[in-house]
Structure 1
Amino acid sequence: MTLTARLNARWGRAYFAVQAAAGAFWWAGVALSPGIRFSTLGALPVGTVAVLDVPLFVIASALAACRVRFATGVAAGWTVLATAATALYATASGLAGWGAVLMIAASVCSVGALLLIHLNRIPSEWLLIGPFRAREAESAPARTHLLRTGAQIVVFWGVCLVILPAVIALLELRWGLRLSFPTAVTIVGIVLLIAASALGLWAAVAMAGRGDGTPLPIATARLLVVSGPYRLVRNPMAVAGIAQGVAVGLVCGSWLVVVYALCGSLVWNDLIRPWEEEDLVARFGSSYEAYRERVSCWIPRRPRRRPSGSARDPLVY
C-alpha cells in the first residue's frame, strides 16, 4: 500500500472517530436538553431510536475507527438508512429538521470515509459514467457546437439552478429551518446572478466557438482554448456555476441553497478537476502544463509571462 493510500485510510478512520464522539455528545445532549431533543428528533420515541442508533452509529463508528473493517459498512449503512428515515419524517411532520440536515451531512461523510478505508481513495470516475462519460466531441462547424452548448446550458442551468434549489428551498421551509434575509442580501444576489451568468455565457461561447466542441465532458472541446475568460482563470464556467448557485440561494433567501452551491464547489475542485486536468495534460501535453502554470484556477491574477525567447504554445488562441 502506498503512503497516499495509507494516509487516506487514516483519514477515513479519523472521521469515524470524530463521528463516534459527535454521536455520543449528541445523545448526551438529547438526554439533557429538551431543545436538542425536539429540534433533532421531533416527537420520535427517544428510547426506540437510542436502542438502534447507539450500537449501529456510535459504537460501530468507534469500532471502525479502531480498524474493525466490517464496522465501517455497519456505521455507513445505518447512517444512510437513518438519514432517509429522518428526512421522510421531517418532511411529513415538519419536525426534526435539524436532525435531517445533520444526518445528511453524516451520510455523505460516512460514505466518503468508507471509500477511503476500503478503496484508499474517492473514485471520482464514478461521476463520469454512462451518459456523463467524458468523450471528445466530433469535429463540426462552430455554429453546431454553439447550438449544442446552448442546449446543454438550458438543461444544466434548469436542473442545477432552478429545480434542485427549488426542492432544497421547499424542504428548508417545511423542515422549519428558514432564515430571514435582509433586502440588501437579495439585491446582492441579483447582481451576482447577472454577473455570474454573463461570465458563464462568455466562457461557453469562447469554448464552443474556438475549441471545436462544448464545455461539458460529454462532448469536450478538441482544441485547447485559453482566450476570453480563460485568460483570467482556467475554469471560468465552474467559477460562474458556483457563483450562480450562491446567488440563487441569496435571491430566494435559502441558506441551504448557498450551502448546496458551496458543496458543489468542493465536489468539482476535489473530484472533477483532478480528472479533467489529467485528461488535458494527456491530450495537450506541455501546452496545457504551461497554461496551468501561468493562469490561476479560481481567483484571477496577472498571468505569468513566458520565459524570454520561448516559442508560442501550439493550440493556444
Structure 2
Amino acid sequence: MNQAAGALLGSGRWVRESAASRTIGRAYFGLQAIAGAVWWIAVFTVPAVRRATLGGIDPVLMAAADVPLFVLASALVALGARWAVWIAVPWTLLVAGAMIVVATVTGAAGWGALLMGAAGIGSALAWLLLRFGRIPADAALAGPLGFGTARRGTPPLRQLVRTLLQMSVFWILFLGVIPLGIALLEWRWALRVEFPVAVRVLGAGILLLASALGVWSAFAMALRGDGTPLPSAAANRLVLTGPYRLVRNPMALAGIVQAFGVGLCGSSWLVAVYALCGILYWNELVRPFEEDDLARRFGAEFEAYRARVRCWVPRLRPVG
C-alpha cells in the first residue's frame, strides 16, 4: 500500500471513529437527562433521597434551575442541539463544584456531591467527544509525560536509582496523597463504610504483592532496558525479561492493583473505585499512544511480542 492510500484509509478510519465518538457523547447526555429526571422525581417522593443528596438545600429552588439547565439541556444535546452543550456542561460543573463545597463544609449531602462530581466529569468528557470526536489525551503527554528515550550508555546503577526515585514519587502521590484526600472526603461526606477485618487484611496482602511486582518491573526496566518507566526517559531496548515475560504492562498493572489494595486495607470503597478508574484511564487514553511509540521504535520485534503476551492478564507460563 502506498503512503497516499494509507493516509486516505487512516483519514477514513478517523472519520468513522469520530462519528462513533460523537454518537457516544450524545448517548451520554441522553442517559444523563434520564438519570436527572429520575433523581428529581425521587427527591420529591422519597425523603431519604432528598436528605442524602441535597441536605438542607431547598429542593424547589434547586429544581427550578436544575431541571431546565441540567435535565432539559442534556436532553436537547442528546437530540442533536449542539448549542445546548454550552448550557448543560457549565451548569453541571458549577453545581458539582457547589455541591462539593457544601458537602465538605456541612458534612451533609455527600451523595449529592459524589453524584454531581461524577456527572461533571462525565459531561466534560462527553463534550470532548462531541467537540473533537475523541478525548485528546495526547495533549497531556508533554514534558515529563511526553515520549522520549533515556540517554544511551547511562550506567545501569544510575538508571536504577532514577527509576526507584520516579517510582517513589508516583507511589507517594498516587498511593498516598490522592487516596488520603479521597478517604477524607469520603469520611466528611458520610459515605464511609467500615470493611470487615478479613477484607482489610486481604487488601494489605494485595498491596504487598503488587508492590513487589512494581519493584521487580522497575529492576527489569532499568537493568535490561537501559531506561526508566518515565515516558520521556523510556527504555532504549525492548524489555522481554522478568515480569514482562508474563504481561505487557506489569508496572501499570502493579500500580492499579496497589491502589485497589490501598482502598481495601484503608476501608475506603471510593479509593477502590479510584483504582478501577485507573484501568479505564490507562487502557483507553494512555496505552494506545504508548504502544504506537513502541511499535514505531521496535517494529516487528514489538509486534511479535504483543501477539504473544497479553496486556493485562498475565500468562500462566512465561514466553521463551
State the TM-score, normalizing by the size of structure 2. Answer: 0.93
Q: Which residue of 2 aligns with 1:162?
A: 176
Query: How many residues are paired up?
Result: 306
Distance 2:108 2:247 in 1: 44
Q: Which residue of 2 aligns with 1:210?
A: 224
What's the offset of the Cα at 1:131? 3.7
Cα deviation 1:226-245 (Å, max 9, x = unaligned): 10000000000011001100
Cα deviation 1:135-193 (Å, max 9, x = unaligned): 21112111111111111011100000011111111110000001010000111011111
Contact 2:186 2:270 in 1 (8 A): yes
Structure 1 unaligned spans of 5+: 307-317
Cα deviation 1:81-107 (Å, max 9, x = unaligned): 111110110000000101111112111
Structure 2 unaligned spans of 5+: 1-11
Query: In terms of mean alpha carbon deviation, does 256-265 or 40-49 score higher?
Result: 40-49
Contact 2:147 2:293 in 1 (8 A): no
Distance 1:194 1:158 in 2: 15
Task: For 2:108, give the aligned amino acid.
Answer: L
Q: Which residue of 1 aligns with 2:38?
A: 25
What's the offset of the Cα at 1:304? 9.1
Q: Which residue of 2 aligns with 1:88?
A: 101
Q: Which residue, 63, 66, 72 being the options, matches 2:79?
A: 66
Q: Which residue of 1 aligns with 2:187?
A: 173
Q: Which residue of 2 aligns with 1:310?
A: none
What's the offset of the Cα at 1:305? 7.2
Provide the aligned C-alpha RMSD in A: 1.4
Q: Which residue, 262, 266, 270 being the options, matches 2:280?
A: 266
Cα deviation 1:235-268 (Å, max 9, x = unaligned): 0001100110000011110000000000011100
Contact 2:77 2:83 in 1 (8 A): yes
State the TM-score, normalizing by the size of structure 1. Answer: 0.94
1:121/1:290 CA distance change after superposition, 3 Å: same
Task: For 2:91, give the aligned amino acid.
Answer: W
Task: Determine what percentage of the aligned residue pairs are the same residue.
Answer: 52
Q: Which residue of 2 aligns with 1:226?
A: 240
Q: Which residue, 250, 258, 261 being the options, matches 1:247?
A: 261
Q: Which residue of 2 aligns with 1:133?
A: 146
Task: For 2:173, give the aligned amino acid.
Answer: V
What's the offset of the Cα at 1:73? 2.6
